[in-house]
Each structure stands twice: as structure tokens, then as C-alpha cells.
Structure 1
Amino acid sequence: MSAETLRVTYYLTCRPGEDPHDKAKGIALEQSAELPSRCIPEHVYDDVVPTIQELTALEDGRHRLVLDFPEAITGLEPTQLINNLFGNISLKSGIRLADVEWTPNLLRALGGPRYGTAGVREMLGIGERPISSTALKPLGLDTATLAGFCADFARGGIDLIKDDHGLCDQDTSRFVDRVQACQRAVNEVNAETGGRSLYLPNVTGPRWELDKRLDAAQEAGCKAVLICPFLTGLDALIWARERYDMALMAHPAFAGAVAGAEHGIDPALLLGEITRLFGADMVVYTNAEGRFPTYDQALCDRINDRLRRPLGDIRPALPTPGGGVDAARAPYWAERYGPDVVLLIGGSLYAQGDRAAAARRLQDVVEGQ
């Protein structure tokens, strides 16, 4: 494989009567020239159509397909890259994008996290230990109450206090008011305790609002924000990374729409690698034993690995398991996942009643690691 070739692996599930070889050739054509091979000039075919490197029958009935894509057809553009990897074929069935061997040029074009694991640690002023996080919820509370929750969690020492992804600019808590009030509450408690808790507002919004929300967050003094890149578009991560001096925590809302068992993008690749490459410093996913049972332990381990493993000059990002993580299990997860993790715990902190005390107990766990 040359440096200018993007090697991509898919798993194919064929319906009765569907020929795997025809399916493989169809994917190569659909994701490039989008014409029958007889209609493509020979010189164009050689330049743009991916070549089949492997088509192997597996014991489970699927086929492993490896294609070499000419890097040039991506234009080194993030949106076109996704279009080439899983564009029109997302409208078909039984095709799962599993792995990509990135070219040096694409790694440079995508860029990865601005801060990464080490940068987030530096913001918090902490060493090699797990990082604690919680979410402001439920939707429907007023700004003063949410700011009070921020103060409680900061007083308990929680590292990262984020908006829930459902909070945007509702009548009950307008975005700008909430950002200012919550950041002020955290600042006041930090000044009182000597802590370094961070507040992360949810800046997710339509494109015409995204810059206004990021501007408001930066002006309020926020050092990090939450964004849902599968709602805004993945390229919004790159856009925000390049224009704002804030770390980015990516939330997976809507990601499940393109991450199925037999069709779609493997969640380990989507959340663990693609989201990292597009600029996320922290990536939320639904942890094993939580309320999203399709994410088993093996999948969570693969997501963690892809967020952390060497990838050219790309900084590692922090796995952020959430989705029903119980505070009582925090010692287990801190031990299992090691220091390079953000433990996102919400409901089980609220259920304890005294939020500051519950936060302190969680903080004792992560600081003791």
C-alpha cells in the first residue's frame, strides 16, 4: 500500500442470492465513479476506483472486504472523506465499515485533538489519575437551580461539570444566561476551595447559532465545551478546534443511527477514531453495564483502545464512559480503565440527595487511584 492509498475494511452480510463478489465491486464503484465499469474511461477508472485487495469468507457467514482507495478522491476534505468511506453505500444493506488505515496526508488534514489527554490534565492541574465528570439535569430546571447544582458539584471537587446534551436554549434556561451563571458559580467555588473544576456548556445548535454559542462560552471564561457532532456535523469539531481556545467533549447523540450490528460504522471506529481525528479531546460513549446494553465490555475496550493508541502525530483523546455508570461502581471502573479516562456519572449522584457529599465521595475514588 502506497502512502497515497487509503486502506479500508468492510464486513459484508449477503442476503439470499446476493453474490459477495458483485457486492464488493458495487461498493468500489458506488463510492467513487458511481457508474457501471463499462461507462468509465480507462484512465479515469484507474485513477479513482478503489481496488479490491481482499475478499474473504468468514466462519459466521460474512465476508471481509479490503479496498484500497486513491487518497486523491477525498480531496483531503473531511466531508468528502466520510462520503467516500460510507456515502451512498449507507443507503444499501449489510455493509459495515470496520477499519481505516489512514494516510499521513489525511492525518495532517484532520488534525485530531487540540489538547488531548495531556492538555486536559494540564487545564485541571492534575496528574495521572482518572477524571471525574457529571451532567446538569434534568431538562426543565431554571438557570438559578442549574447554577446551584454547579456549585454543589464544584464544592465536592468534580473535575468536569457539563450541561446535559438536552440543554440548549429553552425558555426555562436560556443559553447565554445559563453559561454566565454556571461559570460564575464554578469560579466562586473554585476561589473558595482552591479547586479547578471546569464547567462545559452544551454549545450544540444549528450552524447559524454555533459560533454565537461558542463565542458566549469563551467570553464567559469556559475552558471546555460539550458538542454533539453527529447533530452538528463532524466537521463542526474541526471548525471549533481551529477557532476557539477550548477543549471539546463530543457526545454520541444520533451516532447510533449509523452504527448497527450488520450495517453502518463500527462504533469503535466511529467514536474511538473518527471522532478523535476530527478534533474531540474527550469522547462520550455508553458504558457496559449501563442502560444501553448493545455496548458490551468488549466494544467499550475497543473504543478506549482507539482513543488512546498511537496514530501518527495525533494526540490521544480521553474515553468518557457514561450512560448509566453507577457511582458505587466507580472504584471498579477506575481500576479497569486506568488513569486515562473520564468517568461520567450523573443519576446515581443525584439519587444520593446531598450532591456535594456524593461528589466528594466520587472524587475520593478518582483521587485515590
Structure 2
Amino acid sequence: MSEALRVTYELTCRPGEDPEDKARGVALEQSAELPSRCIPAHVYDEVVPRIEALEPREDGRYHLVLAFPEAITGYEPTQLLNNLFGNISLKSGIRLTDIQWTPALLRALGGPRYGIAGVRGLLGAGERALTSTALKPLGLDTATLAGYCADFARGGIDLIKDDHGLCDQASSPFRERLHACQRTVDEANAATGRASLYLPNVTAPRGELEARLDAAQEAGCKAVLICPFLTGLDALIWARERYDLALMAHPAFAGSVAGAEHGLDPALLLGEITRLFGADMVVYTNAEGRFPTYDQPLCERINDRLRRPLDGIRPALPTPGGGVDAARAGYWLERYGRDTVLLIGGSLYAQGDLTAAAQRLQAVVEGH
């Protein structure tokens, strides 16, 4: 018997649904995928997760802990996800909330290439909090976007990323935008003595993803933006292993698997799984922004999972966005601490003079 991977679920039972039957169903569906009477005894012992706990909660749900034999994952990241939440994703009332990782699976996943210290090193930023913004809106031409990029870099913004909606549209083709924006950031850095980074959005189907990552590295980029819930989470591992680039992960599409009663706890998905698959920075929607389902306690749980010790795994940078107001930068830094990237867009654009707005934000962050 291999070492056990302990996985915690919340079960919500419909009227008449038996929690023990539901728990056994999860264990079988995520492993042998047959009724227990059809499984040879030795196979059952080797592959079917053991129910370690099934307890009622005050809210009417049930707390379920399964001990998976880690060997059934094949130590493959894609099969790991399949074992954790494969067929049961097609059922209802099952929520994955916690995983006690084994050393072998932590080694198989690997975590960030750079982590917090590595990203700080790329920027020469010391121990302070970091800033980020996005080039938007979709539909602008390359010259305008590159101009915004130059304005933000002159103002000192650390990480200037493509908006996740920018790809290879006719209004601003990927390679044209890549070279124009990287050039303007290089010129601004030469003038200011800073080390701002431009992050092109490389999200694309796998063949084009490779071509865009190649182009980004050849252009001199040191970091990129990727939407791993569109490309597949394993694209993070692949990019981490093949390219010397820091990876900022965007949560587009993640909400489709992160529900209140079914799916994955967002803190586990964005804070821990995305980190383990290789993200150096993870964007999430901040409390009090335009995504009201993310409250401050949830955001703090995401932060904790991104930073907390995991054997041999570098911590990653929380990157709260989605409506963070520049005027409240100090407030969020007080709550989230210096190992944070504040991703601020709309409230900088609203000030008109982008360089001056960036300088004001940077002064708050660097003086905090």
C-alpha cells in the first residue's frame, strides 16, 4: 500500500440521500469506478480510498475525509486532478476543501520556479509590496497600448501586464504588441533606473502557446501572464520547466469549478493547487471589488495558502485585483502585508495622467 493522500470534502445531501452512501460513492467513483461487489479484494485494498471520517456539521453538511493511495495518481498532475475531482464533478453537493499532500506528490508538482523571493529579485524590489496594472481596454491599437505601457513604467509600476482579454486580435496583434511594449518598458527602465516588467498574455491553444512563450523569451521578457484554467493547469508545469519566465496566473474560468456547495474551495484551487502547478503570482478577485462572492476572510485564506510552508515548495505572491482602488492601497497593504502584489487598473486610468497616477500609487506602496 502506497502512502495516503488525505483529501477533505464537504457533502450536501438532498432529502432522502444517505451521507454514508454518498461518501462511499465518492470513494468508488474516484478510483475503481465499479460497485464494490465487482472489484477483486486485492484491487479494492490497493486503489479504493478509505473513509477516515464522516461527521455531521452544524450547517447540515457532512465533513468527509478520504485516504487515497497516492500511487493511483501515477504521480501525474493531470491524473491527480482526475482522482481528486473527476467524475464527481458531474454529480452534485460535493465540495473539495483540503488536501494533505504527500512528499512524493509535492515533488511531482514542483511549485513555482521563482516564488516570492525570485520575483522580488527580478524587480530589485527589496522587501516591499509590489504593484501591477493591466493594459486595457480590448480594442485599442498597439501604439496606444505601448504608450500606456511607457506611462506606467515611467511611473514605477512593477508589473505591467496585458489584460487577459488581449490575444492576437487585429486591433493589436500579439507579436506586434509584444515587441512594442517590451521596447517601451526597456526604454523607460533605462531612463528611470527601475526594473519594471512587461507581461504579455501568452494564453492560447497549446501549439500557439509554445510559439508565444518562445517569442516572449526571445523578446527579453522575464515574466508572462497565463490563464491556466483555459489552457489547462498542466500548462503551468510545462512552461515552468521549459522557460526561464516567472508565471502570473489569471483566474478566468476558475469560477466554473469553485461553488458554494459543489466544486473546489477557491482558497484551495487558487491559493494552493495553482501554486503547486507552478504559478509565481496568482491573481484573484479582491474583497469589496466588483466580484462580491470573494469576501475578505476568503481572500486571506487564499493568501495563506499561497504563502504557507509546504515542504520544498516556494511560496507564491497573492495578486488581488478586480476592483482594487488606488486610493485604498494602504488599507489593503495593512491587511495583506508586504508579500502581496496589488493589481490596480480602473482607478489609475480614471485619474487621466497615468504616469502621475502610477507615481502616487508607488509612493504609497514604497512608503508603507
Q: Same fold (TM over 0.5)?
A: yes
Q: Provide the secondary structure at the position in 1 that maps to 2:221.
A: coil
Q: Which residue of 1 aligns with 2:151?
A: 152
Deviations 1:52-106 (A, max 9, x none): 0000000100000000000000000000000000000000000000000000000
User: What is the TM-score normalised by the length of structure 2?
Assistant: 0.99
C-alpha distance in 2 between matches for 1:189 and 1:272: 33
Q: Which residue of 1 aligns with 2:248?
A: 249
What are the within-5 Å matches in structure 2 for residues 180-191 of structure 1?
Answer: 180-191=179-190
Q: Provide the secondary structure at the position in 2 that maps to 1:191.
A: helix
Q: Provide the secondary structure at the position in 2 that maps to 1:298.
A: helix
Aligned partner letter, 2:283: V
Q: Provide the secondary structure at the position in 2 that maps to 1:325.
A: coil
On the 8 A contact 1:163/1:201 being kept in 2, the answer is yes
What are the within-5 Å matches in structure 2 for residues 99-248 of structure 1?
Answer: 99-248=98-247
C-alpha distance in 2 between matches for 1:55 and 1:337: 34
On the 8 A contact 2:2/2:69 being kept in 1, the answer is no
> Alpha-carbon deviation of 1:208?
1.3
Deviations 1:347-368 (A, max 9, x none): 0000000000000000001101
On the 8 A contact 1:29/1:36 being kept in 2, the answer is yes
C-alpha distance in 1 between matches for 2:286 and 2:130: 15
Q: Which residue of 1 aligns with 2:268?
A: 269
C-alpha distance in 1 between matches for 2:148 and 2:2: 51
Q: Matched residues, percent identical? A: 82
Q: Which residue of 2 aligns with 1:9?
A: 8
Q: Which residue of 2 aligns with 1:350?
A: 349
C-alpha distance in 2 between matches for 1:212 and 1:173: 17
> Alpha-carbon deviation of 1:215?
0.4
C-alpha distance in 2 between matches for 1:335 and 1:220: 37
Judge which range, 24-33 or 2-11, deviates more.
Answer: 2-11
Deviations 1:271-311 (A, max 9, x none): 00000000000000000000000000010000000000000
Q: Provide the secondary structure at the position in 1 that maps to 2:122.
A: helix
Deviations 1:197-220 (A, max 9, x none): 000000000011000000010011
Q: Which residue of 2 aligns with 1:58?
A: 57
C-alpha distance in 2 between matches for 1:81 and 1:185: 42
Q: Which residue of 2 aligns with 1:83?
A: 82
Q: Provide the secondary structure at the position in 2 that maps to 1:283.
A: strand
User: What is the TM-score normalised by the length of structure 1?
Assistant: 0.99
C-alpha distance in 1 between matches for 2:245 and 2:15: 51
Q: Provide the secondary structure at the position in 1 that maps to 2:292.
A: coil
Aligned partner letter, 1:250: A
Aligned partner letter, 1:35: L
C-alpha distance in 2 between matches for 1:302 and 1:338: 13
Deviations 1:2-44 (A, max 9, x none): 9711000000000000000000000000000000000000000
C-alpha distance in 2 between matches for 1:193 and 1:101: 46
Moved over 6 A (4+): none
C-alpha distance in 1 between matches for 2:118 and 2:131: 16
C-alpha distance in 2 between matches for 1:163 and 1:365: 24
Aligned partner letter, 2:238: W
Q: Which residue of 2 aligns with 1:331?
A: 330
On the 8 A contact 1:320/1:342 being kept in 2, the answer is yes
Q: Provide the secondary structure at the position in 1 that maps to 2:357.
A: helix
C-alpha distance in 2 between matches for 1:170 and 1:75: 40
CA RMSD of aligned residues (A): 0.7
C-alpha distance in 1 between matches for 2:285 and 2:203: 19
What are the within-5 Å matches in structure 2 for residues 315-326 of structure 1?
Answer: 315-326=314-325
Q: Provide the secondary structure at the position in 2 that maps to 1:328.
A: helix
On the 8 A contact 2:54/2:65 being kept in 1, the answer is yes
Aligned partner letter, 1:141: L
Q: Which residue of 2 aligns with 1:366?
A: 365
C-alpha distance in 2 between matches for 1:336 and 1:67: 34
C-alpha distance in 2 between matches for 1:216 and 1:316: 27
Q: Which residue of 1 aligns with 2:278?
A: 279
C-alpha distance in 2 between matches for 1:311 and 1:298: 21
On the 8 A contact 2:2/2:71 being kept in 1, the answer is no
On the 8 A contact 2:161/2:200 being kept in 1, the answer is yes
Deviations 1:170-191 (A, max 9, x none): 0000001100000000000100
Q: Provide the secondary structure at the position in 2 that maps to 1:99.
A: strand
C-alpha distance in 2 between matches for 1:113 and 1:193: 29
On the 8 A contact 1:129/1:338 being kept in 2, the answer is no
Aligned partner letter, 1:225: V
Gaps of 5+ in 1: none
C-alpha distance in 1 between matches for 2:357 and 2:80: 44
